[in-house]
Amino acid sequence: MSDAKLRLYNTLTRTKEDFVPIDRENVRLYVCGPTVYDFAHIGNARPVIVFDVLFRLLRHLYGADHVTYVRNITDVDDKINARAARNYPGLPLNEAIRKVTEETNAQFQADVKALGCLEPTFQPRATEHIDAMKAMIERLIDLDVAYVAEGHVLFSPKRMAARVKSPRYGALARRSLDEMLAGARVDVASYKEDEMDFVLWKPSKPGEPGWPSPSGIDGLGRPGWHIECSAMSMAKLLEPFGGGLKCDDPQKNVFDIHAGGIDLVFPHHENEIAQSCCAFGTERMANIWMHNGFLQVEGRKMSKSEGNFVTINELLNTEKFGGRKWPGEVLRLAMLMTHYRQPIDFSLARLEEAEARIKHWTSVAKTISGAQGFKLEPDSQFLHILTNDLNTVEAIFYVNQLSNEAVTDFRKAKNFIWCLTSLGVLIKDYNRILFISTMIDPSLSEEQKRTALNASLNFISAQDGIRILLKENEKIREVAEASIRFLSGPLSFGEWRSMFDSGTLNSQNEKILARLALIAQKNWAEADRIRDELLAQGIQLKDGKDPATGERVTTWEVKR
């Protein structure tokens, strides 16, 4: 864990606050995810990228095993129903809905992976937590802040104001009920007690998805939008997990950070707070609320009528924007070049600027990649900048300065690569660099090590650069062959990330050397313990002799 102090802007208090986790052993983050009815547009990418940087930062500060990140998938919604009926008119609606949600979610996962985002700890689906939603709804009815009308269950902000001292409805948006009503598009219905009342549950029409309704309501129904996130965050983040409604201590029903786009402040997040706090008896749903700013495209609001609506997938795989495809890391960096709370103008000029930075950083990184011992070191100045409310703008400026020093200063080189991984750029190539660096035999000369590593890197970019290794000695040829096996794809992304996150690849050479020393001392039991420990991590050791010197050498391979 790091001692760096994290400060975050809290939309609820409109101030920047020191982040103090409720439990340092389990820091909890919830981000509103996609409604899977259509491909995600570039505006949807902004919160995914921004809060991926926050996730990475929290993992560094508190330890990868001590952060829980939940990003939900909304797979029950009127828009999904309409899209399913349009796309698959010949199928029963429920079957068509399943096809739409599966296809759309699969594309979303592929798109955000291409943007360099880590997979969240959990990605709960709304349809998996219907029972939790119903339990919350029944609790709200019992508390008389919700009521049943014509097969619907509605939450009443006015009833809440009369029965609950805190929180005040509208505190997140900083608006009164009258102001919210004036600025909102509300569903006017005869069965509502008040125009501001919002739906927790509604009856399903024939053929639509439906579940048995909460107690006291006949027929099948489905949840409203807002109750979904309250239930999913409860199921994955509260104590005891999945049973927040049963906790005797209300403070156990609060988590650390809730985040999303600024457009969700009202009504979605405001309504989440109201229903969750009433159901759980808390003053807050989350201690800190974070919101990223709006996105425009070339200075205009993105819309299909404007002709500037563009999806992540189109940017990655077509020539719709600027007449060319854009790498995911360029899209990512372009997003991070504006502070997350500020509006962003997503433009061709911004992408070209991001691409130029990426090319420069790649060039510098390849220049320094032959340095011995690629064990990365955190950079204190970078951390100081980034922990100031995710100031990625200043962080990128600092990394640019650091890149110039990294060429001649080995410590700065390791800092530089660490900063890139913290921003989530150049991850693909530098996971490979780190991997290859662990395979280089420590008995090689520094010149030979550099030759082996640089040739492997050339293979990444040129596919045939590694051939130069065949002119070198036997040990370098072994590195070449191992590099080819790895770079040709023997490991899946998930296997690689698991090994990287666990620290296996940074420590195995040290363990192998320690084992050789133990063998020299004839301490067979301890040497076998290290061998078995590595085997449990999926690393199989092979002992042999150096043909030139006769000395014992140990190589390894991934046990498949």
Taking only the tens place, the pLDDT of each residue in 300-353 is 988 777 888 999 999 999 999 999 999 999 999 999 999 999 999 999 999 999
pLDDT number for residue 552: 64
At 303 the pLDDT is 79
> Higher confidence at residue 49 or residue 421?
49
pLDDT computed for residue 491 by the predictor? 42
Mean pLDDT of 159-180: 85
Place of tokens 């770079």: 487
pLDDT of 202 over the 50 cut: yes
pTM, two decimals, is: 0.77
> 33-59 pLDDT, tens per residue?
999 999 999 999 999 999 999 999 999
How high is the pLDDT of residue 106? Answer: 92
Q: Which two tokens stand for residue 50?
A: 């921004």
- What local confidence, expressed as pLDDT, does residue 530 receive? 81
Looking at per-residue pLDDT, the higher value among 436 and 521 belongs to: 521
**Whether 333 contacts 354, CB under 8 Å:** yes
CA dist 391 → 275, 339, 345, 350, 377 (Å): 33, 6, 17, 18, 20
- Segment 445-473 shows an average pLDDT of 45
Is residue 454's pLDDT more than 60?
no
Measured between alpha carbons, how far is 48 from 115 in angstroms, rounded to an integer?
A: 9
Given a cut of 80, is residue 268 above it in pLDDT? yes
Where b means 16+ CB within 10 Å and e means fewer, 485-521 reads ebbeeebeeeebeebbeeebbbebbebbeebbebbee
The answer on pLDDT for 174 being more than 80 is: yes
21 and 2 Cβ atoms separated by less than 8 Å: no
Confidence bin at 517 (pLDDT 50/70/90) = low
pLDDT attached to residue 418: 87
Instruction: Report which of 31, 527, 101 is spatially closest to residue 268, judged by C-alpha positions.
Output: 31
* Higher per-residue confidence, 463 vs 292: 292
Query: For position 497, what pLDDT does the model report?
Result: 40
pLDDT at 180: 65
Residues in CB range of 260: below 8 A, 6 or more apart = 31, 32, 47, 268, 269, 290, 291, 292
Give the C-alpha separation, 156 to 159, whole Å: 5
pLDDT band at residue 550 under the 50/70/90 scheme = low
**56 sits in which H/E element:** helix 42-62
**Amino acid 70: pLDDT:** 97
Which residues, other chains included, contact 309 with Cβ-Cβ below 8 Å and sequence gap of 6+? 41, 297, 302, 303
Q: Considering the chain, what is the average pLDDT of its residues? A: 82
pLDDT band, very low/low/confident/very high, at 467 (cuts 50, 70, 90): very low
Q: In the structure, what pLDDT confidence band is assigned to residue 523 with cuts at 50, 70 and 90?
A: confident
Average pLDDT, integer, range 135-152:
95
Strand partners, 544: 553
Q: Which residue has the tokens 């050498």?
A: 553
Q: What is the pLDDT of residues 122-142, one digit of tens each?
A: 999 999 999 999 999 999 999
Nearest to 332 by CA among 51, 36, 35: 51
- Local confidence band at 468 (pLDDT 50, 70, 90 cut-offs): very low
Read off the pLDDT band of 512 (50, 70, 90): low
| pLDDT at residue 488 is higher than 50 | no
Among 179-188, 213-222, 429-438, the minimum mean pLDDT is found in 429-438
Contact yes or no for 106/67 (Cβ under 8 A): no
Mean pLDDT of 192-203: 95
Domains located in the chain, CATH noted: 129-250+269-284 (3.40.50.620), 491-560 (no CATH)
What residues does 540 pair with on adjacent strands?
A: 557
pLDDT at 558 over 60: no
> pLDDT, tens digit, for every residue of 347-370?
999 999 999 999 888 878 766 654
In Å, how far are 86, 365, 455 from 353, measured between CA atoms? 40, 18, 29
> Given a cut of 60, is residue 373 above it in pLDDT?
no
Pick the closest to residue 116 from 547, 429, 461 (CA basis): 429
Q: Report helix, strand or coil for 48.
A: helix
From CA 364, how far away is CA 236, in angstroms rounded?
42
- List beta partners, residue 223: 201
Question: How far apart (Å, rounded) are the C-alpha atoms in residues 335 and 355?
Answer: 12
User: DSSP states of 162-194 as a string?
Assistant: HH--SSPTTTTTT--HHHHHHHS-----TT-SS
Torsion, Cα 49 54 60 63, to 10 degrees, reads -110
Single out the residue of 2, 5, 8, 11 nearest to residue 289, CA to CA: 11
Mean pLDDT across 275-287: 94
Token output for 266: 């009202």
pLDDT band at 439 (very low <50, low <70, confident <90, very high): very low
**pLDDT average, residue stretch 241-264:** 81
More confident residue, 221 or 421: 221
Whether residue 430 has pLDDT greater than 70: no
DSSP 489: S
Enter the tokens of residue 241: 């997990």
CA 351 to CA 258: how far, in whole Å?
A: 29
Query: Closest by alpha carbon to 421, among 413, 430, 412?
Result: 430
